[in-house]
Amino acid sequence: MMSFFITPTIGIHIRRGDYVANPIISKFHGALGMDYYYRGVKYIQEWSGNDFQLVVFSDDIEWCKHNFIQNKTLFIDKGFHKNHIDEFYLMSCCTHNIIANSSYSWWAAYLNKNKEKIVVAPAKWFADPTYINDDINPDNWVRI
């Protein structure tokens, strides 16, 4: 498979923005904690046995730079792309994906053409416990 990236990558999407700032959206969706992302990275690294370049995408990239402390991490900011479509394309070109509870990263992972990709998705899509999300993710995606 041809990829934009030279080395194997794990594309990580961290959505904050309205999930943190808007109390109604925060109560319904909720932002995922860093533990979810660290567990996702660990799962992919253990399962594949490879060393990866981590590629972080976010609507709050400065927060990620201060809170996502890992070696070999590339933070995708405005210097790497012109718009959200470019960012979306880069996310879909990663070897594997760890998605947020967001349709933006869901679609990027779904459209990732790597036949051997591992996609880590949140087991609980909504913070609101009255909403069930059993059918949101394809069966072959790993739920953490």
Q: Please indicate, yes or no, if residue 4 is contained in any of the structural domains.
A: no
Which residues make Cβ contacts (< 8 Å) with residue 78, sequence separation at least 6?
Answer: none
So what's the pLDDT on residue 80? 67
Could you report the per-residue pLDDT of 52-68, keeping only the tens digit for each?
899 999 999 999 999 88
CATH number of the domain that residue 138 is part of: 3.40.50.11350
Within a domain: 109: yes
Answer whether residue 77 shows pLDDT above 90.
Answer: no
Segment 122-132 mean pLDDT: 88
> What value does the mean pLDDT of the chain take?
89
Confirm whether 92 is domain-assigned. yes
Distance CA(109)–CA(95), nearest Å, equals 10
Looking at residue 3, its pLDDT comes to: 56
pLDDT band (50, 70, 90) for residue 5: low
